[in-house]
């Protein structure tokens, strides 16, 4: 795990107290105080919590799988041309603390929840796979690579994908670890998708995440080890001087990552659902990135049409000049 995370309290649902994964996770935190609970919601859904404040000293909750754990992909997410696009939340919340993260607008708590009954989630995916090929994002509501040392979920999912030919998985990350490549099982249908942001954006808004160079080095190492790697210039964040800042980021990317060996790229600017932004603004009253006067359009906030177009087109065109053969996916607003 990047940086040693300590959880002062670990809440455990009684029904998973003896689950092998519970025992394994607990072994990493011998100093944490363990509190048994009936249901994770008793802690996670408590009224009057501040997700932003709780991020400063996160507690951990270990819980049984929910009744439903696999969902159709949300319209704000890039589907990379896949017809059957799903995501799963085998954990809720993240060790990182990006200021613009929609999770603070979505969840009532900043505490980290790990659903330890991964096999039940696998069974749900298998039910879908019996009907059609599935493209599954497993690291949207968290950063699974950042917590690989405590939960080993990237390993477990990679092994699961290797056994299911019609399953493709995306693991989205801002993690900069390079040592994991020696341990993770390699599967050509498990894509490690690095969110690439300019260093000034990382410093200002992506608290706790890996620096740009570290992310790029991790991506380059992944490629060198034969893992499929995707680079996501998404979400692009508007900051004064964004043209130069994003140009510098691309120059740095070219220096470190062999772009011709990147599986594909995505480009998209910040967007968020109306209700999440409302909550997020309450959580982050002083944040420039969150308080920006976005445009509301059919339930989603984003930059104005002209700024969105300028930011995304500039990046797509520059990327196209650097890697003419690149497969670039640009997020497009769904039609009604
Ligand atoms: S890495 Fe992703 S999930 Fe984690 S805080 Fe940042 S935006 Fe949220």
Ligand 1 atom nearest 139 alpha carbon: 3
Query: Over the stretch 280-310, which tens digit does the pLDDT of each residue have?
Result: 999 999 999 999 999 999 999 999 999 999 9
Confidence of residue 336 (pLDDT cuts 50, 70, 90): very low
Distance 94 CA to ligand 1 centre (A): 6
110 DSSP 8-state letter: -
Distance 324 CA to ligand 1 centre (A): 30
Dihedral sign of CA atoms 91, 92, 98, 103 in order: positive
pLDDT for the residue 93: 96
Residue pair 219/261 in contact (Cβ under 8 Å)? The answer is no
Radius of gyration for the chain, computed over Cα atoms and rounded to the nearest angstrom: 19
Q: Is the pTM of this model over 0.85?
A: yes
* Average pLDDT of span 80-106: 93
**What residues flank ligand 1, with Cβ below 6 Å?**
94, 96-98, 101, 103, 142-143, 174, 209
Query: Which two structure tokens, joined as six digits, stand for 214?
Result: 């570290």
Distance 142 CA to ligand 1 centre (A): 6
Query: Which two structure tokens, joined as six digits, stand for 159?
Result: 């092994």
pLDDT for the residue 52: 82
Q: At 46, phi and psi to the nearest 5?
A: -55, 145
Confidence of residue 3 (pLDDT cuts 50, 70, 90): very low
Percent of the chain residues topping a pLDDT of 90: 87
Provide the CATH topology of domain 9-330: pyruvate-formate lyase- activating enzyme (3.80.30)
Give the span between the Cα atoms of 274 and 213, in whole angstroms. 33
| Closest residue by Cα to residue 33 from 57, 15, 64 | 57
Query: What are the Cα distances from residue 250, in Å, to 71, 150, 213, 219, 289?
Result: 34, 33, 11, 14, 22
Ligand 1 atom nearest 103 alpha carbon: 8
Give the span between the Cα atoms of 310 and 302, in whole angstroms. 13
Ligand 1 atom nearest 173 alpha carbon: 1
Residue whose entry in the numeric block shows the structure tokens 């890697």: 323
Residue whose entry in the numeric block shows the structure tokens 């992909």: 73
pLDDT for the residue 208: 96
| Closest residue by Cα to residue 90 from 157, 10, 184, 3 | 157
């Amino acid at each position: 795990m990047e940086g040693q995370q300590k959880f002062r309290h670990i809440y455990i649902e009684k029904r998973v107290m003896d689950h092998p994964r519970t025992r394994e996770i607990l072994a990493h935190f011998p100093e944490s105080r363990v509190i048994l609970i009936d249901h994770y919601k008793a802690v996670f859904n408590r009224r009057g919590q501040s997700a932003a404040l709780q991020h400063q000293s996160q507690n951990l909750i270990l819980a049984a799988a929910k009744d439903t754990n696999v969902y159709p992909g949300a319209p704000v997410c890039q589907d990379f041309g896949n017809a059957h696009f799903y995501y799963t939340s085998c954990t809720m919340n993240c060790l990182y603390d990006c200021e613009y993260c929609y999770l603070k607008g979505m969840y009532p708590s900043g505490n980290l929840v790990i659903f330890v009954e991964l096999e039940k989630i696998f069974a749900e995916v298998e039910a879908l796979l019996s009907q059609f090929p599935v493209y599954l994002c497993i690291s949207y509501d968290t950063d699974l690579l950042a917590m690989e040392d405590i939960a080993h979920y990237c390993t477990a999912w990679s092994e699961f994908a290797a056994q299911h030919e019609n399953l493709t998985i995306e693991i989205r990350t801002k993690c900069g670890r390079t040592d994991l490549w020696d341990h993770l099982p390699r599967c050509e249908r498990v894509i490690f998708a690095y969110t690439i942001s300019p260093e000034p954006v990382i410093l200002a808004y992506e608290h706790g995440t890996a620096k740009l160079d570290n992310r790029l080095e991790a991506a380059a190492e992944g490629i060198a080890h034969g893992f499929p790697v995707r680079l996501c210039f998404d979400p692009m964040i508007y900051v004064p001087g964004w043209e130069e800042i994003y140009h510098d980021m691309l120059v740095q990317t070219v220096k470190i990552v062999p772009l011709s060996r990147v599986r594909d790229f995505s480009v998209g600017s910040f967007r968020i659902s109306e209700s999440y932004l409302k909550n997020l603004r309450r959580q982050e009253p002083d944040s420039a990135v969150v308080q920006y006067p976005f445009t509301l359009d059919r339930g989603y906030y984003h930059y104005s049409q002209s700024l969105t177009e300028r930011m995304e087109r500039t990046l797509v065109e520059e990327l196209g000049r650097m890697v003419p053969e690149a497969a670039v996916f640009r997020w497009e607003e769904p039609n009604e």
